[in-house]
Amino acid sequence: MTEKKEKFYLTTPIYYTNGLPHIGHTYTTIVADVIRRYKRMRGYDVVMTTGTDEHGVNVERAAKKAGVAESEFVAKMADAWRALWDELGIPADEFVRTTDLKHVRTVQWLFRQCKENGYVYKGNYTGLYCIYDNAFVNEPKPGNLCPDCDRPLETVTEENYFFKLSAFQRPLLDFYRKNPDFIQPETRKNEIVSFVEGGLKDLSITRTTIRWGIPVPGEEPHVFYVWFDALTAYLSAVGGPEYEKRGYWPADLHLVGKDIIRFHTVYWPAFLMAAMLPVPKQVWAHGWFLMDAAKMSKSKGNVVLPRPIVNMLGMDALRYFLLREVVFGQDGNFSYDALVTRYNSDLANGLGNLASRTAALIEKNFDGKIPKPGARQPQDEALAKEAQAAIGEVLENYDKLSFARALETIWSVIGAADKYLTSEQPWALGNSEDEQARKGTILWTTAELLRIVTALAYPVLPDSASKVWLLLGQAVGVGKCELDGLRWGQLAPGTALSKAQTLFPRVEKTEAIERIEAMANEELNPTPAVPAPAATPASAGGAAAAAVPAASEKIGIEDFAKVEMRVGQIKTAERIVGADKLLKLTVDIGTEIRQICAGIAQYYTPESLIGRKVAVVVNLAPRKLRGVESNGMIVAASVGPEGRPVLAGFHEEVEVGARLK
Ligand SMILES: [Zn+2]
């Protein structure tokens, strides 16, 4: 294959590293990943860039507060951001840090180009300045006070480099007119056009009062200021000055939050025009997720974190909800109630149920092999037509980034298949030749529909679509399926199904929300490890490992006496959705029945534990594990390099509640 694929380059913003990602950042990165997967299924060679914006006075301050060097602080932050994207299955193809050498070189090169072309000059910048924080303040508090430290501000003038933004009013307006799709959605475009029509002021692009930044070559102590540095990261990620070699520039799509659209559609194209470089093809501004109609922020305490949701419901559930609930480009409301409702209705009862129902019927009636369809009746034709029509509609909506519409179409086809099965009732048909043939037609039709919706849903639901695809016995991964070749009728009879897996176990709403909130609370306010003098909690969580570390300090009997251990008997044991290592146990400790979580699920089945007598630390402060309250600790030895838990027990009859001494 020597055929050269068309390239597609898209980016998320380069996120600022003075904090950690919440659902807003996660949303943009998920959208970028959906587009990437979709474009790959359409045959494009796609690169997606994300990264971290690591310079500036806020990072200087945060590092100082943490008592570490800036470089160390941002390295840790960048690692944390990258690790989260990896964990969530949305890693960048290019992760660019603004402290990367290749980025530093690109910014300095871009500056030289702009300067040589006459768009950069030295001038004076005057503003309100906080001497204590070493920073200019754009929005002072009433009475000219510093918004950060409340100290009085002073008017300070410093020498800066300026970018001649004013020279680009005409070129920008011409560019918008010739490229009507450059700014999306349309409402944002009008806003930007009238802003530029109102006139553009030159822009200060360097500072001498900030230390932590990219130096302007030969002009120390000048460092580049915010946008000239951060925006350029999109270019440094794909080759910088040598961008032509890799062939991904200009970017096809910058995804941004609506608050930063001006910088991306005014400053950024102007910098590039000044350097005579190609300008990106499109900038798409999305809205915000609001929590109870308020913008999320850490200080308001209404910030939603991705991890707890993913632990409870899976990443696909989060992806589906974010893209289905809100029209891309508009603001949307985030609520756990709506999230869990959608999960149960659309995923567990919708796609999940259709897949397991179809697989079970084929298993039972056709020995787990896709049947051969017989003569088609009008209702079979109608369903086929609906699914075939959905392909075109869904692709069109993905192209327009109308994700909610695309998913609506897919789910309406799933709904039609449910109705079809319910009215055709293949389970009520007998074993005569005619009835068997009819069953074959119905089940082939349902399975073929399932194959098509699975391929269409893959960009949004990569994990579960891959499972359904495998279930349908499809050899090549669903992500490799070419959407342009997807048609009704391609499912080969005789294909063996693989073993069905539960896609979306139903959850009880109140309990699910409580657990998500508890996990979020744990992540936002981590409790210091509970001191456990006699037993170290196993790293798997919950079970206490009785192994004494080598060279441990000796303790007096009075210390040991602080730990109250009793004989307990396990009454019930169950797995916990979203926590594969934990079992939820109820344990009789003589005086009461306790709920205790133990990290033993990988080594003990729930059934094997019922009635078993164990050693329980009963006076441990209650804590939550994966959102489930645990009131005590089961003692176990930690064996081997993996720390396999082996429950401590008794070889003679012991009374429940007896104290261990
Ligand atoms: Zn201050």
Taking the centre of ligand 1 as the mean of its atom positions, its distance from the CA of residue 67, in whole angstroms, is 19
Residue 331 has pLDDT above 80, yes or no: yes
Tokens 């934990």 correspond to what residue?
582
Taking the centre of ligand 1 as the mean of its atom positions, its distance from the CA of residue 619, in whole angstroms, is 48
Sheet bearing 120-130, strands edge to edge: 135-137, 120-130, 154-163, 203-204
Residue 531 has pLDDT above 50, yes or no: no
pTM above 0.75, yes or no: yes
Taking the centre of ligand 1 as the mean of its atom positions, its distance from the CA of residue 70, in whole angstroms, is 19
Taking the centre of ligand 1 as the mean of its atom positions, its distance from the CA of residue 140, in whole angstroms, is 10
Taking the centre of ligand 1 as the mean of its atom positions, its distance from the CA of residue 152, in whole angstroms, is 8
Least confident among 4-8, 125-129, 624-628: 624-628
**% the chain with pLDDT above 70:** 94
d(CA 130, CA 127): 10
- Contact (CB, 8 A) for 104 and 229: no
Q: pLDDT-derived band of residue 220, with 50, 70 and 90 as boundaries?
A: confident
pLDDT tens for 408-419 read: 999 999 999 999
Taking the centre of ligand 1 as the mean of its atom positions, its distance from the CA of residue 295, in whole angstroms, is 25
Taking the centre of ligand 1 as the mean of its atom positions, its distance from the CA of residue 314, in whole angstroms, is 43
Residue type, position 221, single letter: P
pLDDT of residue 540: 33
Examine residue 622 and say whether the peptide bond preceding it is cis (omega within 30 degrees of 0). no
pLDDT tens for 138-182 read: 888 888 899 888 899 999 899 999 999 999 999 999 999 999 999
Taking the centre of ligand 1 as the mean of its atom positions, its distance from the CA of residue 71, in whole angstroms, is 23
Taking the centre of ligand 1 as the mean of its atom positions, its distance from the CA of residue 644, in whole angstroms, is 53
Residue 1 has pLDDT above 70, yes or no: no
Least confident among 308-317, 369-378, 531-540: 531-540
> Using CA of residue 448, residue 471, residue 321, residue 462, what is the dihedral sign?
negative
Rg of the chain on CA atoms, in Å: 30
pLDDT tens for 258-277 read: 889 999 999 999 999 999 99
Taking the centre of ligand 1 as the mean of its atom positions, its distance from the CA of residue 127, in whole angstroms, is 14
How large is the average pLDDT for residues 431-435? 94
How large is the average pLDDT for residues 9-19? 91
pLDDT of residue 524: 81
Taking the centre of ligand 1 as the mean of its atom positions, its distance from the CA of residue 150, in whole angstroms, is 6
Taking the centre of ligand 1 as the mean of its atom positions, its distance from the CA of residue 297, in whole angstroms, is 21
Please name every residue paired with 295 in a beta bridge, in sequence order, or none if there are none. Answer: 290
For 300-327, give the DSSP string: TT----HHHHHHHH-HHHHHHHHHHHS-
d(CA 585, CA 608): 12
Question: Which tops the pLDDT comparison, 500 or 546?
Answer: 500
pLDDT of residue 297: 62
How large is the average pLDDT for residues 9-33? 90
d(CA 114, CA 118): 6
Residue 537 has pLDDT above 70, yes or no: no
Taking the centre of ligand 1 as the mean of its atom positions, its distance from the CA of residue 207, in whole angstroms, is 17
Taking the centre of ligand 1 as the mean of its atom positions, its distance from the CA of residue 131, in whole angstroms, is 7
How large is the average pLDDT for residues 217-242? 95
Taking the centre of ligand 1 as the mean of its atom positions, its distance from the CA of residue 129, in whole angstroms, is 8
Taking the centre of ligand 1 as the mean of its atom positions, its distance from the CA of residue 276, in whole angstroms, is 40
Taking the centre of ligand 1 as the mean of its atom positions, its distance from the CA of residue 63, in whole angstroms, is 16
Phi, psi for 442 (deg, rounded to 5): -60, -45
Residue 541 has pLDDT above 70, yes or no: no
